[in-house]
A = this chain, B = another copy of it.
Amino acid sequence: MRSGPTIKDIARAVGVTPATVSYVLSQNPRQSISAQTRQKVLEAARELGYVPNGAAKVLRNAPSYCVGVAIEKELMLSRFSMVLQGIRDRLEGEGYNLMLCSFGQRHGIYPDYINNTLERRIDGVIFMGKDNTGPTPEAEELIARYHLPFVLYDCGYTGRPYSTVELDYEQAGFDMADSMLAGGARRLLYLRPDADNYQEQQREAGVRRALAARPDVTLQVMCTDTTRDMVRYTPQDRLGLGIELKADEGVARFLAGQVIPALAEFAPHDGVITSWGVYAPLLYSLLAQAGKSLQIGALSDMLVSGMLQGRIKVCRMPGYQAGVECARLLLARLAGDETPQTRTLPMPLGNPAMYF
């Protein structure tokens, strides 16, 4: 199919050896070339439409100038696409392309994101698991053994030998609860999924910290049963109509049957904080139907429609910034800096955004 001109062709056209052409084209500083030869080589290269063969360069140990981004599946979740955009914006300026890597074993015996590094198709990896999953233990061993440049996003820091970017879930919980106290709340309901992971622990800890100094305020915690009361994806998900909320099942039933009754005594200044964003609009609708108005806040802004401006407070996922930060830490690794760094980003309290 494609078999363009090589440095040999240029060399022949100009009447020099391939080595000379290479020196000119790669601007090797350890080799001086006469202005005239340089001129002729560059001209011939342009004329022939020369494009260097990337594979040959990489074979000679050049970097691939490509960075892998390991995202398991859901590029459509703005949680991930925002980060991706941040990574891209930061890395493109440095001349890097991005390669989307999966978690499965594609060609080799290792997960795709490791295999591509080992095959030298990418120079490093930014890893975004979901539900707190980091790389497999086997992958971690290879990362350590080969010193693979690796950055982990939002997995809960646990002293790994690579850089991580984390979000300050604890502070988010604190800020939201604190703002509700400032709004006059005397009762607070905290609604969280039963999943007992790093993020959920941190969030609840933050909420409790805000309440520690206020024994006059009651806190009630309710857990959704995520094995049963999930927000459901419809079959259309994968059929081209986007991911869709089946709000009338699962969680909605739990909210209507359990949560709303628990709010019976709540006064207008009291508040509900939901851990996941998706719970908040559902709750808002149900409360509105019941003719009830409370402070509502969500510790994530994912799935909180911008149309709820002023009705629901959210802690915003700083996805784009996080992506930029991941890129920055990876660049440090690529530049040879081996010391793992951790950056923890705030999740500022604000209004839900209108995402495109």
Contact = CB atoms under 8 A, between A and B. Distances in A.
Contact of A241 (B108, B308, B316): B316
Interface residues of A, number: 86
Nearest to A245: B354
Contacts of A318: 240-241
A319 B109 CA distance: 33
B97 A319 contact: no
A101 interface: yes
Interface in A244-267: 244-245, 247
Interface in A276-325: 281, 302-303, 305-308, 316, 318-322, 324
A52 B238 CA distance: 34
Contact of A319 (B59, B64, B240, B354): B240
Given A76-B81, A306-B305, A244 B110 contact: no
A56 B66 CA distance: 17
A187 interface: no
A92 interface: yes
Nearest to A234: B353
B247 A51 contact: no
Contacts of A142: 49
Interface stretch (A118-126, A168-176, A207-215): A118-126
A110 B116 CA distance: 26
A356 B56 CA distance: 42
Interface string A314-356: 0010111110100000000000000000000000101001111
A116 B97 contact: yes
Contacts of A316: 241-242
Nearest to A124: B1
**Copies of the chain in the assembly:** 2
Interface stretch (A28-36, A82-90, A155-163): A82-90
B356 A74 contact: yes
Contacts of A51: 108, 110, 115, 118-119
B110 A353 contact: no
Contact of A75 (B88, B120, B350): B88
Contacts of A64: 55, 121
Contacts of A350: 241
A106 to B, nearest CB: 6
Contact of A107 (B65, B119, B348): B65
A8 interface: no
Contacts of A191: none
A61 to B, nearest CB: 9
Given A81-B75, A148-B2, A356-B74, A53 B241 contact: no
Contacts of A81: 75-76, 78, 81
A242 B107 CA distance: 35
A322 B239 CA distance: 10
Given A2-B147, A55-B59, A75-B81, 13 more contacts: A1-B146, A1-B147, A55-B57, A75-B84, A76-B355, A95-B106, A97-B101, A97-B116, A239-B321, A240-B318, A240-B324, A281-B307, A303-B356
13 contacts: A2-B117, A4-B118, A51-B108, A52-B108, A54-B55, A54-B116, A78-B242, A78-B356, A242-B353, A243-B356, A244-B354, A245-B306, A305-B307
